[in-house]
C-alpha cells in the first residue's frame, strides 16, 4: 500500500510538470529547463595536482604515470578549453536541456579526460596542470567527487627555477607570478580535502612518499614508480610540462639546497612560513 501511494505521488508530480510546461507554451513563455541530472560525469573522481609553476609537478606526473593503474598525461590546460554558443537560439536550445555555458565546458573537459583515460587502458587519471590552482572552485563545481594532491615546494626555489630557465626574466614579475600561484594553492588547501606532498621530501624519500600517494589514491604501490625512465611519458617540451635535462634524465634527483631566509622575497615570506619552511 505505501509503495502504491508513492507511485501515485510520483505520477502526480510528473503530471503537474507537464501541465506547467503546456501552460507556459500557451502563454507564449518558454518552459523552465529541467536541471541537469546528477552523477553524469564519465570520469566521476579524477585526481588534480594543485601546485604552482616550477614546483616539481612534471616529476610527480611521470612518477605517477609509471604506475600500471594511473594515467598522468602532460598538462591538459582544461581552463583554456572553452565552448562558444554562437547564436541566440543555441543558448535557448541548450537551456531546454538544462545546460548553460559552464556546464557545457564541464562536459567537454570531462570528455577529454575520459578519452585520455580510455586510450591508456588504465583506471585513474591525474591532471597536473599548474593552472588548476587558479580554477580550483571550478574544478570542485565540475567534479564534486574529485580528489586533490597539493604539491608544495619552497616558494623561493620556484622563483630561482624560473629565473634559471630564463635569465632574461624580470625578477619582480617572476616573484609576482609565483605569489599568484602559491596564494591560490594556499587557499585551495584551506578549502579542499586532499593529500599534501612536498617536492623536497618526494625527491629525498621517494619510496616513502609514493607509498603515501598510492594509499591516498587507493592503489597498491608499484616499485616501477621509482624508475620512471623505463616508461614512455610522451615528449618533454615547453607549455605542457618541464623540459629540463633533469627530467629527461629518467632519474629522481634530489632537490637543490633550500634557500636561506635572507633569499626569500618579502612578499613570499608569510606563505613560506605557513608552509613550514624556515624564513
pLDDT for 279 equals: 86
The answer on pLDDT for 11 being more than 60 is no
Q: What is the pLDDT of residues 172-214, one digit of tens each?
A: 999 999 999 999 999 999 999 999 999 999 999 999 999 999 9
Q: Does domain 45-274 have CATH number 3.40.50.300?
A: yes
Domain chopping of the chain, boundaries? 1-32, 45-274
pLDDT grade for 3, boundaries at 50, 70 and 90: very low
pLDDT for 37 equals: 54
Question: What proportions of the chain, in percent to the nearest 5, are helix, strand and coil?
Answer: 55, 10, 40
3-state secondary structure of 50: strand
pLDDT grade for 75, boundaries at 50, 70 and 90: very high
Mean pLDDT across 116-131? 98
Q: What is the pLDDT of residues 37-61, one digit of tens each?
A: 555 899 999 999 999 999 999 999 9
Q: Cα separation of 61 and 58, whole Å?
A: 5
3-state secondary structure of 101: helix
Q: Which of 224, 212, 162, 193 is nearest to 48 (CA)?
A: 193
Q: Cα separation of 102 and 36, whole Å?
A: 12
pLDDT for 165 equals: 84
pLDDT-above-90 percentage for the chain: 78
Q: What is the pLDDT of residues 153-181, one digit of tens each?
A: 999 999 999 999 888 999 999 999 999 99
pLDDT for 12 equals: 54
Mean pLDDT across 223-252? 91
C-alpha cell at 25: 507554451
Amino acid at each position: 500500500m505505501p509503495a502504491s501511494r508513492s507511485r501515485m505521488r510520483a505520477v502526480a508530480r510528473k503530471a503537474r510538470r507537464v501541465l506547467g510546461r503546456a501552460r507556459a507554451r500557451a502563454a507564449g513563455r518558454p518552459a523552465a529547463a529541467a536541471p541537469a541530472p546528477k552523477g553524469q560525469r564519465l570520469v566521476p573522481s579524477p585526481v588534480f595536482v594543485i601546485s604552482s609553476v616550477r614546483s616539481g609537478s612534471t616529476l610527480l606526473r611521470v612518477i605517477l604515470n609509471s604506475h600500471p593503474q594511473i594515467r598522468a598525461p602532460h598538462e591538459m590546460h582544461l581552463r583554456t578549453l572553452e565552448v562558444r554558443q554562437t547564436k541566440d537560439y543555441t543558448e535557448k536550445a541548450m537551456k531546454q536541456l538544462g545546460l548553460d555555458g559552464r556546464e557545457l565546458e564541464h562536459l567537454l573537459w570531462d570528455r577529454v579526460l575520459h578519452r585520455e583515460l580510455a586510450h591508456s587502458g588504465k583506471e585513474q587519471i591525474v591532471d597536473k596542470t599548474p593552472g588548476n590552482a587558479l580554477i580550483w572552485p571550478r574544478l570542485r563545481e565540475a567534479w564534486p567527487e574529485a580528489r586533490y594532491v597539493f604539491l608544495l615546494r619552497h616558494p623561493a626555489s620556484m622563483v630561482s627555477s624560473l629565473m634559471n630557465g630564463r635569465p632574461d626574466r624580470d625578477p619582480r614579475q617572476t616573484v609576482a607570478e609565483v605569489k599568484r600561484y602559491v596564494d591560490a594553492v594556499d587557499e585551495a588547501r584551506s578549502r579542499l580535502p586532499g593529500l599534501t606532498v612536498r617536492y623536497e621530501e618526494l625527491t629525498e624519500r621517494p619510496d616513502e612518499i609514493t607509498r603515501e600517494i598510492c594509499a591516498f589514491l587507493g592503489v597498491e604501490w608499484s616499485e616501477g614508480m621509482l624508475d620512471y625512465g623505463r616508461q614512455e611519458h610522451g615528449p618533454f617540451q615547453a607549455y605542457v610540462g618541464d623540459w629540463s635535462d633533469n627530467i629527461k634524465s629518467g632519474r629522481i634527483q634530489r632537490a637543490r639546497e633550500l634557500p636561506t631566509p635572507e633569499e626569500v622575497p618579502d612578499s613570499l615570506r608569510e606563505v613560506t612560513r605557513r608552509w613550514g619552511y624556515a624564513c
